[in-house]
Amino acid sequence: MNQLDAIRTLYGYNRWATWQMIEQSALLSPEEFSFPDDTPFGSIRNELVHLFDAQWGWIDICNSSLRGVPRSVPDLIPADYLDVESVRLLWERVECATDQFLSDLSNSDLERVIDPQFDWGDASAPLWVTLMHLVNHGTQHRSEIAMKLTNLGHSPGMLDFIFYYGSREHSTDESSTQSEG
């Protein structure tokens, strides 16, 4: 497996694990889904929207850097997503943009440096590092959401990569994401 295929496999895992969050969130009442808590993002809904905002934003940054096109993704506002269904539809849009970006990549693209120019510090890194960061960021937030869901009686279950890798979802994802790049 080459580096690009490994990254695509990690993004397959990212998709699978995030769907577990959405499926369990759908079992919550609307009040539980958006109930303010004392975590940095304030609710399951807000944390999911943050997770999707970060992924879409970083994919947009990477795409604009590699292709020399203007950024096109606005910041997402949690209050614009009133229920689990609207969040699920948002995730489908984010995943579509992610899949398109990943399908257009070549192995040589992975070494290009992405320099997003943030006010809060230097985040320049080769594309492969940026993409790995994004999956790791998702893991952090999914674990926080999983704890909230578990406390509400809706554990998403085992989210370890090895469970994804051995699942039927992996077999389907891997065959659909193989590249020649």
Whole-number Å distance between alpha carbons of 122 and 105: 24
pLDDT at 24: 98
List, in order, residues 6 or more apart from 180 with CB less than 8 Å away. none
Q: Are 63 and 101 in contact (CB under 8 A)?
A: yes
Q: Residue ranges of the chain with pLDDT lower than 50?
A: 173-181
Whole-number Å distance between alpha carbons of 30 and 43: 11
Q: What is the pLDDT of residues 39-71, one digit of tens each?
A: 888 899 999 999 999 999 999 999 988 887 777
All domains of the chain in start order, with CATH: 3-177 (1.20.120.450)
3 state SS of 132 = helix
Q: What is the pLDDT of residues 167-181, one digit of tens each?
A: 855 555 444 444 434
